[in-house]
Amino acid sequence: METIGSEMMPQKEIQRVGVIGGGQLAWMMAGAAKSLGIELVIQTPHPTDPAVAIASDSIFAPIHDATATAQLASRCDVITFENEFINLDALMPLAQQGVCFRPRLEALAPLLDKYDQRSYLEDIGLPQPNFMTLEGEIGNEEFIHAASFRQPLNLSNLEFPLVLKARRHGYDGQGTFIIKDSTSLQEIWKKLGYAPVLLEEFIPFERELAVIAARSVTGEVVVYPVVETQQEEQVCRRVLVPAEISSAIVAEIEAIARTLLNSLQAVGVFGLELFLTADGKVLVNEVSPRTHNSGHFTLDACKTSQFEQQLRAVTGLPLGSPALKCDAAVMVNLLGYEYSQNDYLEKRQKLASLPQTFVHWYGKTESRPGRKLGHVTVLLDSKEKAEGLTISKKVESLWYTP
Ligand code: ADP
């Protein structure tokens, strides 16, 4: 057994897994938890959150509430995350007292803040957009700290467009702004209260790609098929599996994922989002230290889902095969398009009647525009492989038509 860079195996079998976060990512662990004989204990603020219904036990408290996490620790053998909006400093004493977090807190530390994440990726030599942080107030000459940004360090000399990102708590493009000129840079930063932000090069990508990778307690790494993600207004609409890219690019992305997980000595599942440029360059957009929307297809299309893989990794089991069970697949997010309490049963039934189609409905009680309410995965055979986009458009037309 490989032991370098690996954790000691736990003394006793892990039966109860604590999960910080109670959204759909925790909810989708239910099937795998059942088949592996694992009980899930959830920390989430809202009793109506999806995972509460499938958990053996829940603690209703904010994600960043470390006192609640101490309680969670007393009710489970290991704690993992479906949500990274945690207070790392407050959790550190728990880890020092012996609470087992997987991934461990040191592996999360460089990733939670988008600027820290970029700095870490730079340190380990992974390709990414040029970046810097903006701190202080406009007018103060010392407010820009450049990292690998090859631009002059002066606001008036910046080359636009640029991308401004809130350093923490961004999701689904909330907190990400494409900036066209210095006036809008000043306006948007002002709106954000001059909080420190990440400023990075705008990449005129040809396509966006993503990959899920997992690392076990013994240091074994598996990488899922690379997929293409398509965003509209910065929110993922559909995922095409596998991405139509050369085997050289697949190998490059797999190597990026391995380098990252091994450098972090992370245990668990990670999602990587990437840009592919017209001249074939791969750049890392973002790393999520948890299961990811771009990996939802794995529930129906892979031998081991990303959710089972996370439970396997954090409980010290050997990892499962990430291979596809079919030739190809598409995953379509069912996003809210109105404010309502509708459960859209009729639409869901219509979608479920399509061939080789699996509808996952997260059971949220309220719909609002852009909210992720569920997703649909369609499995494709070799003849349908090229029709992924057409099939996803058909699913979307059934969903978004009133
Ligand atoms: P979030 O963390 O909220 O998901 P992301 O940083 O992933 O935000 O950005 C959301 C989307 O914005 C990306 O999927 C991409 O379409 C676009 N985007 C983000 N960064 C850049 C960039 N540097 N250049 C071009 N587009 C970008």
Ligand 1 pocket: which of 206, 283, 286 to mutate (most atoms <8 Å of CB)? 286
Strand order in the sheet with 78-81: 57-60, 39-44, 16-20, 78-81
The residues pairing with 211 across neighbouring beta strands, listed in sequence order, are: 272
Could you report the per-residue pLDDT of 193-206, keeping only the tens digit for each? 888 899 999 999 99
Mean pLDDT of the chain: 92
Whether the link from the prior residue into 93 is cis, omega within 30° of 0, is no
Instruction: Decide: helix, strand or coil at residue 194.
Output: coil
Measured CA to CA in angstroms, residue 344 lies from 48, 76, 154, 169, 348 at distances of 18, 36, 52, 30, 6
Position 12 pLDDT exceeds 70 = no
Which domains, from first to last, does the chain contain? 2-101 (3.40.50.20), 130-201 (3.30.1490.20), 207-400 (3.30.470.20)
277 pocket-lining for ligand 1 (C-beta < 6 Å)? no
- Quote the ligand 1 centre to 201 CA distance (angstroms): 11
Position 142 pLDDT exceeds 50 = no
- Quote the ligand 1 centre to 176 CA distance (angstroms): 7
Q: Which percentage of the chain shows pLDDT scores above 70?
A: 92
Residue 308: which of 87, 34, 11, 21 has the closest Cα?
34
Name the pTM for this structure: 0.94
208 pocket-lining for ligand 1 (C-beta < 6 Å)? yes
Evaluate the CA torsion angle 204, 206, 207, 211 in order and state its sign: negative
Q: Tell me which residue has its CA closest to atom 22 in ligand 1.
A: 202
Residue 239: which of 255, 228, 248, 249 has the closest Cα?
228
165 pocket-lining for ligand 1 (C-beta < 6 Å)? yes
Q: Which percentage of the chain shows pLDDT scores above 90?
A: 83
Instruction: Decide: helix, strand or coil at residue 142.
Output: coil
Residue 63: which of 293, 5, 51 has the closest Cα?
51
176 pocket-lining for ligand 1 (C-beta < 6 Å)? yes
Whether the link from the prior residue into 152 is cis, omega within 30° of 0, is no
370 pocket-lining for ligand 1 (C-beta < 6 Å)? no
292 pocket-lining for ligand 1 (C-beta < 6 Å)? no
| Atom number of ligand 1 nearest to Cα 129 | 23
| Atom number of ligand 1 nearest to Cα 171 | 3
